[in-house]
Chain A
Amino acid sequence: MSVGIAVENIVKEFPITKEESIRVLHGIDLEINTGELTYLIGESGSGKTTLISIIAGILFPTEGRVNIFGTDIYDLTDTELVNFRLDNIGFIFQQYNLLPALTAAENAAVPLYANGIAREEGVERGKAILDALNIADQCEKLPRQLSGGQQQRVAIARALIHEPRIVVCDEPTAALDAGSGRRVMDLLREVALAPDRAVIIVTHDNRVFDLADRIIEIEDGRITHDGKELPDAH
C-alpha cells in the first residue's frame, strides 16, 4: 500500500455571474492509497462530484495541486492531460454513458480504440472482460437491450479494460435497485481492487458501506470525517 493520489489545498469556485462566484471546495487536502476501496460520502451539493472530477483530471481546480503517481496533472498541457487520463484513469459514471450505437463488447473496448487498437481485437478483449464480469452472453447487445445493472457492468468493464491505476466511480449504483446495486458494489470490490490501484467511489448508498476500507465525508466543501468507520451521525 502506498500513496497513489495526493490532493493539496484544492479550491474550486464556479462563476455564477460575471463578478460573483461560489466556492464549492474550500482547500481540500487528501491522500488516497493504493490497494484500498475509498468511499466518498456527503450530502447532496456538498461537492463530491466536483472533488472526484478534479481528482480524475476532468475539471480544473481554481487552486491547488493533484499529484497522481508522481505527476502533477494540472501542470500538463491539455493534450498531455487527455492522454494521461487515457493511460491512467478509469471512469464509471452514474448514467453509464455508454455509446448507444456500439455493442456491449465494443463499448467495453472504447479506451482501447482510443489508443488505436483495431476493432476486432477490441471486441475480443471486450468479450474477455465481460466474461469476467459474468455477462459474456450479452456481448453482442446494444446498451438499450440491456438492463441497468448489465449496462453498469459494461461501464465497469470499460473502466477497467486498459488496467488504469486509478478508478473513479460517481454513484455507480444510484440508478439501480438495492439488489443489483449491492451486486455491482461487490463486483467492483472484487475486480477493481488491486495492490497498485486506487479506487474512489462516491456513494449515498448506506447499505454498502461495509465494503469500504476507508470512508471520507465532506460537508460544504470541507472534509469532516476520514476513517475506517462511518461518521457518528450515520
Chain B
Amino acid sequence: MGWIALRMLTGDRVKLIGLLFGVAFSTLLISQQLTIFVNLIMRGAVAVQEVSTADVWVMDPSSRTIDVFAPMPSTALERVRGVDGVAYASPMLRSNAVVRTPSGDLEGVNIVGVDDATLIGLPRRMAEGDRQALAEPDSVFIDDTGSRKLFAEDEQVIGTRLELNDQRAVIRGIADAVPTFTSQVILYTRYSNALRYAPGTRNRLSFVLVRSDSDHTPEELVAAIESETGLRARTAEDFANDGLWFIIENTGIPVNFGITVVLGFIVGVAIVGLTFTLFIRDNIKQFGALKAIGVTNAKIRSMVAIQAGFVGLVGYGIGIFVAEMFFILNSGVDTFKGFYMPWQIPLLTAVVTLVMIMLTGFLALRSVLKTEPAEVFR
C-alpha cells in the first residue's frame, strides 16, 4: 500500500508543491537563522581562537573579554614568565585609535600589538604580503575585511601610508582574519610600535599570551598564575567562550534570532499543518473507501506516515540545500565571511521538522481514523 500512498501524494501536484514548499521554507528559515545566529555569536570568540599558539590568556582581574578589559602594568609580563610551567609568554596590546586615510577620511580602528620577536597574536594566514614584513619600520597589517571597508576595490592597499593617532604607519600586508563581532577595522603591528600608536597611559599591556610547557595542563597553569601573580588567567577555550557569552548576555541577538526561529517553526507548522490537513481532508473519502473495502486503521496510519515521511524528507532536503547554498554563494560577502553550518544545526532542524510533520500528520490522521467507513456511502 506504500506505493499507493505515494501515488496519492504525487497525483496531486499543486498540494504536493504546497506541502514541500511549507516544509522547505520552514527548514530553510530555521536552519539559516540558527546558522547566522551561531556564527555571529562565534565571532565573539574568533579573536581568541585565532591565536592558536596561546593556551592561556592572562589579564587584569577586572577584564572580561578580549574587547572588554583593563590594561596592566608592563611588569605583569615578567611576573607571568616567572611562574613555573610557562613555556613562553608574550605581550599583547589592544587599543582603539583613529586613522586618517590618504583620501582624508577618519575611521575608528582596533590596534593589536603582537610580540616583536615571535609575532604571536597575528592571524595564522595572510591574504597578501609576508608575515615578516611586520618587522619593517612603521609596518602595520590590515585585516582583509577592514581593507575592503577602508579602500575601494581598485585602490592599492599595500604600501599605503596612514596617519594613526598622528603617527606614521605603512600597510605592508593584509591578514586573512574572520571578522570579529564588533567588525571594526583591525591594524596589527609589533608591540613596540603599538606602544607608540596607542595613546599614552602608564599601563598599556592588555593581555599576556601564555603557552604551557609539556608538564602542565592549561588548567593547572591557570591556577598557578592566578595564585602567584594575582592576575586573572583563563584557558584559551574558556576565554573564547567568555566572549561568546558576553554577546549572548549583553545583546538582543539571542532573543531576536530566537523569535525568528520560533516564527519559522510556527510558519512551518501553519503551512505544513494546513496543507497536510487539507490534503488528508480532501482524501478522506478515499481513505474512507479504503477502510470500507477492508484496509485496517494500522495500514492507513502507515500510509499517512509514508506520505508525511516523503514530504518531510524531500522538503527538509530542499530547505537544507538552499540554506547551505545561501552560505556557499555568500561566502564572499564580508557579513557572512567564515560562516559555516555546524552539524548540530541540520540535526536540530531535522528534529524540529520531524516534530512538525508528526504533529500535523497526527492531527490530520485523527479525522481519518474517526471517520466511519459508512460516511463514503452518504
Contact = CB atoms under 8 A, between A and B. Distances in A.
Interface in B232-248: none
Given A93-B289, A170-B377, A101 B11 contact: yes
A91 B290 contact: no
B10 A83 contact: no
A158 B11 CA distance: 20
B8 A97 contact: no
Contact of A58 (B7, B295, B374): B374
Contact of A101 (B7, B288, B296): B7
A191 interface: no
Contact of B294 (A52, A83, A106): A83
A101 B1 contact: no
Tell me if A's interface is mostly helix, strand, loop or mixed.
helix
A110 B290 contact: yes
Contacts of B288: 97
Tell me if B's interface is mostly helix, strand, loop or mixed.
helix
Contacts of B373: 58-59
Interface residues of B, number: 28
Contact of A99 (B10, B286, B376): B286
Interface in B1-23: 1, 3-4, 7-8, 10-12
A78 B295 CA distance: 11
Contacts of A53: 374, 377
A85 B293 contact: yes
Given A49-B378, A58-B373, A114-B1, A101 B294 contact: no
A38 B193 CA distance: 107
Interface in A88-119: 89, 91, 93-95, 97, 99-102, 106, 110-111, 113-114, 119
Given A49-B377, A93-B376, A101 B10 contact: yes
Given A93-B289, A94-B377, A82 B296 contact: yes
B299 interface: yes
B291 interface: yes
Contacts, number: 82
A186 to B, nearest CB: 23
A111 B289 contact: no
B297 A86 contact: no
A93 B293 CA distance: 11
A99 B296 contact: no
Contact of A111 (B3, B291, B293): B293
Given A49-B377, A100-B11, 13 more contacts: A58-B291, A58-B374, A79-B296, A79-B297, A82-B294, A82-B295, A82-B297, A91-B289, A99-B290, A101-B8, A114-B293, A114-B299, A119-B3
Interface of B: 1, 3-4, 7-8, 10-12, 285-286, 288-299, 372-374, 376-378
28 contacts: A52-B377, A53-B374, A53-B377, A56-B292, A58-B374, A59-B373, A78-B297, A79-B296, A82-B295, A84-B294, A85-B293, A85-B294, A86-B295, A91-B292, A93-B289, A93-B377, A94-B377, A97-B285, A97-B286, A97-B288, A99-B8, A99-B289, A100-B11, A101-B7, A101-B12, A110-B4, A113-B1, A114-B294
Interface of A: 49, 52-53, 56, 58-59, 78-79, 82-87, 89, 91, 93-95, 97, 99-102, 106, 110-111, 113-114, 119, 158, 170
